[in-house]
Structure 1
Amino acid sequence: MFQRIFRNFIRFIPIMAGLCTLLAMQPVRPRFRVLALAENGGHHIAYSRTAKVWLDKLAADSGFAVDYIDNTDKIDSVFLAQYQLFIQLDYPPYAWKPAAVKAFEEYISEGKGGWIGFHHATLLGEFDGYGLWPWFYDFMGKIRFKDYIAGFASGDVHVEDAAHPVLKGVPAVFNVKTEEWYTYDRSPRPDVHVLASVDESSYKPASGKKMGDHPVIWTNTAYKARNVYIFMGHSPDLFENKAYLTLFRNAIFWAAAKP
Structure 2
Amino acid sequence: MSFSLISEKLRQLKLAGMLKEFENHQHNTLYDTLSFADRLSLLLTAELNDKENRKLARLLKAAKLKYPHACYEEIDFNPKRELDRQLFANLSTCDWVRNNQNLFLTGATGCGKTWLASALGNLAARNGFSVLYKRVPTLFEAIQIAHADGSLPRLRLQLSKCDVLILDDWGLSPLNQTTRHDLLEIIEYRSNHSAIIITSQLPVKEWHHYIGDPTIADAILDRIVHKAHQLNLKGESLRKLMNHKS
TM range (shorter): 0.3 to 0.5
Higher relative contact order (CA closer than 8 Å, sequence separation 6+)? 2
TM-score between the two structures when normalised by the length of structure 1: 0.35
| Structure with the larger strand share | 1
| Structure with the larger helix share | 2
